Amino acid sequence: MKMYIVGTGGVGGYLGRVLAKAGNDITFVARGDNYKKIKKDGLKVSAVKFGDFTIRPAKIISIISQIRNPDLIFVTVKTYDTLDVARELGKVTTPRTTIITFQNGIQNDYEIKKYVKKGKVYPGLAYIVTRRIEPGLIEQVSGLGEFIFGDRKNNKNTNLKDVERIMLDAGIVTKFSDDIERDVWKKYIFICAMTGLSALVRCTVGRVVTDSILRSIYERALREGINVAKAEGVKLPKNIFESTIKVSEDTNKSAKFSMLVDIERGSKIEIEALNGALVRLARKHKIDVPINETIYGALRLLEPVSYEEKRNR
């Protein structure tokens, strides 16, 4: 099976490293200095469960148009690059191609489907905290390294069950979801609150969890997300609030989530796909979400182009 990783950052690098070490045919798609470094010296990944490993030589290409006859494509780019990636993927997929998107947010597979008319596109999520320390070097900071994916319409999809088997055989903690809508929202609620708040106040996960005032704000942000999910008809577990708090407490206290790391680097941030999308859904249902609205209102000012301007282009 010919597999491609589109987006060789923290999540994509980790996933591809484990699959490649297990003997799978993996080709990475990377850009700029990251592409040059991996092409020259291989991809180095430090993982909690699997230890340090370098894929050398690594099969790598610099543009999506170089993809040939893909059986399976994992999309792991930042959400603000989804549109451009989707347009290019639409040119290289075939009717037998399966695309799974492991990105933040809840609507990426829908966006990709607008441009990919051949093949199938499915949503997924990853419970892992990784970072690209420098070009060609990825480090897993914390997290189980669990990957969940599914079919919004068919929870018995045999093709996805085959993908699950491949990932499990490689040693990846993997689950083919019986309700991917529920599972996507479970993570989305968590990262909107934690990623957004920790980025807003520029602090680690541990500070949010242990500081009494920040924790109170965080809990209110969680409840706002839960209310919006319920209005959307998502069948959340009854203990969703308590289980999400536990995930927060179990996360490495020194971890910084990707949005804060991107802010510190002066990079683009995923505010529109996270708190921005939640605020827009809340308005649709006439639900007050003051904490998420504050996070979105402040952090969106870091973006060079507003959401409204992008929509009007």
- pLDDT tens across 65-116, in order? 999 999 999 999 999 999 999 999 999 999 999 999 999 999 999 999 999 9
Read off the pLDDT of residues 206-246 as tens digits, 9 standing for 90 and up.
999 999 999 999 999 999 999 999 999 999 999 999 999 99
Q: Please give the CATH topology (third level) of the domain spanning 182-312.
A: N-(1-d-carboxylethyl)-l-norvaline Dehydrogenase; domain 2 (1.10.1040)
Taking a C-beta distance cutoff of 8 angstroms, is the pair 248, 205 a contact?
Answer: yes
The pLDDT, as a whole number, for residue 276 is 96
Q: Which two tokens stand for residue 269?
A: 């941030």
Q: Is the pLDDT of residue 140 over 90?
A: no
Are the beta carbons of 115 and 86 closer than 8 angstroms? yes
Read off the pTM: 0.91
Encoded tokens for 185:
């929202």
CB 224 within 8 A of CB 194: no
Q: CA-to-CA distance for 116 and 98, rounded, in angstroms?
A: 11
Distance between CA 184 and CA 232 in Å, rounded? 13
How far apart are alpha carbons 115 and 64 in whole angstroms? 14
Q: Which residue has the tokens 């289980």?
A: 243
What are the tokens at 276? 């921005």
- Using alpha carbons, select from 28, 50, 256 the residue that is nearest to residue 173: 50
Give start-end residues of each CATH 3.40.50.720 domain in the chain. 2-178
Count of other CB atoms within 10 angstroms of residue 113 = 16
Parallel/antiparallel/unpaired status of strands 60-61 and 51-55: unpaired
Domain with CATH 1.10.1040.10 in the chain: 182-312
Stated as kind and residue range, the H or E segment containing 144 is strand 137-149
**Mean per-residue pLDDT for 115-132?**
92
Can you read off the two tokens belonging to residue 137? Answer: 């070097």
Contact in structure between 66 and 88 (CB atoms under 8 Å): no
Tokens (6 digits) for 270: 């995923």
* Residue 53 pLDDT grade (very low, low, confident, very high; cuts 50, 70, 90): confident
pLDDT in the model for residue 306? 54
Residue with tokens 């990932």: 167
Check whether 40 has a pLDDT greater than 70.
yes
Instruction: Note whether 130 and 11 are within 8 A (CB).
Output: yes
The kind and range of the H/E element at 173 are strand 173-176
What's the pLDDT band for 143 if we cut at 50, 70, 90? low
Beta bridge partners of 145: none
List beta partners, residue 176: 149
Contact 189, 225 (CB under 8 A): yes
Other CB atoms within 10 Å distance of the CB of residue 250: 13
The model's pLDDT over 238-284, given as tens digits with 9 standing for 90+, comes to 999 999 999 999 888 988 888 999 999 899 999 999 999 999 999 99
- Per the CB < 8 A criterion, the answer to whether 217 and 95 are in contact is no
CATH architecture classification, 2-178: 3-Layer(aba) Sandwich (3.40)
User: Which has the closest alpha carbon to 55: 90, 92, 96, 21?
Assistant: 21
For the chain, give the mean pLDDT.
93
Average pLDDT, integer, range 23-33: 95
Q: Residue 213, class by beta-carbon neighbours within 10 Å (0-12 exposed, 13-18 middle, 19+ buried)?
A: exposed
